Structures are given as C-alpha cells and as structure tokens.
Amino acid sequence: MSVSDLQAIILAAGKGTRMYSTLPKVLHTICGRSLLWKALATVAHYKPRKIVVVVGYGEELVRAEVERFAKSLTDPIKIECVTQSEQRGTGHAVQTALSALDPSPGNILILPGDLPLLTGGTLLPLFSAETPPAKLHILSCDVPDPTGFGRIVREEDGTVLAIVEEKDCSEEERDISEINSGIYLLERELLNESIQSLQPNNAQKELYLTDIVEFSVDAEQPVEAVIAPDCYPLLGANTRLELASLERMRRDEMVSEYMLAGVSFEDPSAVYIDEGILIGRDCFIGAGTRLLGATTIGSGVIIDGQSRILNSTIGASCYIKLNCVITSSSLGEDCSVGPFAHLRPGSRLERRVHIGNFVETKKTELGEGAKANHLTYLGDSVIGANANVGAGTITCNYDGFNKHLTEIGEGAFIGSNSSLVAPVKIGARAIVGAGSVITKDVAEDALAVERSEVRTLPEWAKNFRARHKKSVS
C-alpha cells in the first residue's frame, strides 16, 4: 500500500472493566509509560498530518496525558481529542472521530490505545504490504491461544472475508488461530462509506469496527490481512495480572539490551527501569535498583542496589552505595552518595562531592569536593567547594512560615552537631566550633563558637558512685 497523507485515530474511550480501577485502562503504565503514550509514540513514528484520540471514561485524565505527550514532541504533530460520551463499541468510537480528521483523502491508521508493547516497528508490515492493491489492510497475527480476540475468516484461497468476534464465532471459527490485532490502515473514502453501514446486530449489541471488513468485501473492495511476524507486541492486557506479565517481558528485553551494550547487573531480574533511560558503559547496577522517569546514568557508575533514582542525572564514575533515594537531582562526576542518603528535589552536586549515611539534602548545591558525610540535613543551601560539613549539622531553613537560605563558603569547616539558623552565611575558610547554634553571619577565615564553658568537678563521679553503692547495700 503506498501510504500518502496519513492521519491516525487512537481508540481510548473504554474503561477497561477488568482492571478494577478508577484509572482508565489506557493510563495504566508499563515500564513507566502509559499504554496511551505507547500508542501515541507508535503513531508519531509515522509522522501523520493529524492524530485524533477518542476519549470517554476518565476523559480529563486522558486528555491531560495526551497534552503531556504533545508537549514532549520536538517535532510537533496536530493532536485532537474527541469525546465519545457513551461507549457503544469500536465502530461507534471511529464514527465519533471522523469529523475531527482533516478533510483530505489520504489514508487512515486506526489503533487501540491499550496495547502495552506496541512500538513504531510493530506497524511496519502494515506499511510495507505491497500486493494485492488492497484499500483496507488489517494487521493480523497467528497465536497459540486466540481466546478473546476477533478471528480473521478467510476463503480457501486466502481471501479475507470477515472478522468475527469471539462471542459471535461458530464452533469452527473459534478454532481459527489468526487473530485481529485491532490495527488497521485504510483509505479515507472506504472508511467514510463503511463506517456509516455499521449495525449493532451482534452478541454485544455494539457497533463493531471489524464489520467494515464485510462491508468492503461486499463492495468488492480488496481487503488484506497482513500477518505480523511476531505476535508479542500485539498482546493486550485486560487485567493487572496480564499487565504485570507483559511488563516483565518488556523489562527483560530492555535489560538484555543494556547488558549487550556494556552494562552489568547483579541480578537482571531484580531491577526496575523505566522506558527511555540512558545508562552508560561499564556501569554496575545492583539488585533492587529502580531507575525511573527522565534519569540518565553516566558511564562507570556503580549502584550497589536498593536505591530509587527518579528524574535525576548521575555523572560518570559516581558511586551510589546501598539504599539511597535520589529525586530530581543532579550529580557531577566521581561523587559518592550513601549508604542511606536522601537527595530530595533540587540537590545539585558538583564533581567529587561526598554525601554519607543518613544525610538529607533538598534544594542544595554542593561545590566541587564538598563533603557531608554523616547524619546531616542540608535544605535551601549553597555550599562552597571543599567545604566540610560535620556530623549532625542541621540547616534550620524553616521558621514555620518561610524557607531561608544558608550559605557556606569555600573550604569552610562546620563542626559536628551545629545548627545553622537561616538566613545565615558562613564565610570562606571559616570554622564553626562543634555544638554551636549559629544565628549570625560568620566572616571569612573566622572561628565562630557558641557554647558554654565546661565545668569540671574533680572526683565527683567517683564520690557519686560510692554514695550510690552504700545506699544500695
């Protein structure tokens, strides 16, 4: 089929009853991407003039996802949502979409919005089918278990006659293993004519899109069902159980690709990685690691495991020790983080920064080589290069109403168990004595110490113990 002037319709109005969810089925995710996103990305691959998405159940949420997708495109595509208020079947959904298409003859691609493993490549057989010169192409597939799918009914010579839904199948038809994927490519004119002919005379009393096949055959318009070489990307998920098993398949596939590109996994079956994450060569990913959202991992990074990294950039050669949570943050090269560290949104680490155990950072910049190795909270702060933040340091950034800034200059040394009450500035190379509560700015190179004198009472402890012993005996 020579494909010119392509437009697409994505069917996404259904609830997905068997998910038992308030979330529309098309918004359930697989490796971090919604099913709808997958359908949109698949279609976008072919650069159509326009995409029409049929929405219905949970339409505000579905429209918002469409918007997010549209915004993510560097090469914009016209996308419009139309509402199908009552879900009267796939044929009715397409009828609803028709008026939103641009008025040009061309070809229309129709696909369901609920195929979790769909990619641009999946549709290739549909676009590369050459003979015979059909006006309607269906992507079909030979499966070991056709339960639940529409069956492709062919004449003995192979000519396609109809698609029959399982509920309407005769005994004989039920045995057919060639199924309808729900993806079609057809000429606009044929769609216009055939879609008006639909009648709800079937077991489900719906308008079936699949009935356009019989219409075309009756109108002597050639129909071709192109058998996909691989049925795996055409599998749908009706339940959460099926979705989880498809996700596992997709994850295995992704992890295999990473391994073949030079990434090692402690246990390839025990990592959770979202679609589209870049991981550099010679990384080691420990068991229980979650790499989510828009995350990038530079080359030579070691992640011990049990960490969750979301929307973050990890520079080359960083070492993420066990049990860290890193969200919307960036790490320069050669940083070391954890074990048990929490980098909250807006944490920016330059090169060679060390963040140790039980350290929490938020909206905080640490200059090259700065260290905060133990039990510390750094919020709304800017910390200069090579500064050393001692154990138990707290930036008191919140006064109950507003957040304030703490600045620590280059090479400054903050003694253990200090509280820095913001807004406050510690000058470059200054030293804060351990245990101080700092409420005023400290000049460069100064020592600030806030602490009462130590009282020592000689022999007091010994006498105390002696008294205590007597009273017991």
**Dihedral (Cα; 461, 465, 467, 470), 10-degree rounding:** -170
Q: What share of the chain is helix, strand, coil (3-state, %, to 5)?
A: 25, 30, 45
Residue 20 beta carbon to Ca ion: minimum distance, rounded to whole angstroms: 16
Report if residue 51 touches ligand UD1, rule: CB under 6 A.
no
d(CA 315, CA 264): 17
d(CA 438, CA 443): 12
d(CA 50, CA 154): 33
Report if residue 52 touches ligand UD1, rule: CB under 6 A.
no
* DSSP code at position 386: T
Of 31, 40, 162, 179, the one binding ligand UD1 (CB under 6 A) is 179
Q: Is residue 359 within a helix (H) or strand (E), and if so which, with residue range?
A: strand 354-366
List, in order, residues 6 or more apart from 113 with CB less than 8 Å away.
10, 11, 12, 26, 35, 36, 39, 53
Report if residue 180 touches ligand UD1, rule: CB under 6 A.
yes
Count of chain residues binding Ca ion (CB under 5 A): 1
Using CB distances below 5 to 8 A depending on partner kind, what does residue 127 bind out of Ca ion, ligand UD1, none?
A: none
Contacts of ligand UD1 in 210-229 (CB under 6 A) = 210
Contacts of ligand UD1 in 270-329 (CB under 6 A) = none
Nearer to Ca ion, 92 or 135 (CB): 92
* Options 28, 45, 92, 374, the catalytic residue: 374
Nearer to ligand UD1, 163 or 355 (CB): 163
Of 1, 37, 62, 88, the one binding ligand UD1 (CB under 6 A) is 88
| Three-class SS state of 17 | helix
Contacts of ligand UD1 in 109-148 (CB under 6 A) = 112-114
Nearer to ligand UD1, 151 or 348 (CB): 151
Nearer to Ca ion, 32 or 236 (CB): 236
Contacts of ligand UD1 in 4-23 (CB under 6 A) = 11-14
Nearer to ligand UD1, 88 or 371 (CB): 88
d(CA 364, CA 367): 10
Of 236, 288, 369, 392, the one binding Ca ion (CB under 5 A) is 236
Q: Is residue 413 within a helix (H) or strand (E), and if so which, with residue range?
A: strand 413-414
d(CA 199, CA 142): 28
Of 149, 184, 215, 377, the one binding ligand UD1 (CB under 6 A) is 149
Nearer to ligand UD1, 181 or 419 (CB): 181
List, in order, residues 6 or more apart from 307 with CB less than 8 Å away.
286, 288, 289, 290, 320, 322, 323, 324, 325, 326, 338
Q: Identify whether 92 is a catalytic site residue.
A: no
Residue numbers annotated as active site: 374
Q: Contact residues for Ca ion (CB under 5 A)?
A: 236
Contact footprint for ligand UD1 (CB under 6 A): 11-14, 26, 54, 84, 87-90, 92-93, 112-114, 149-150, 163, 165, 179-182, 208-210, 236
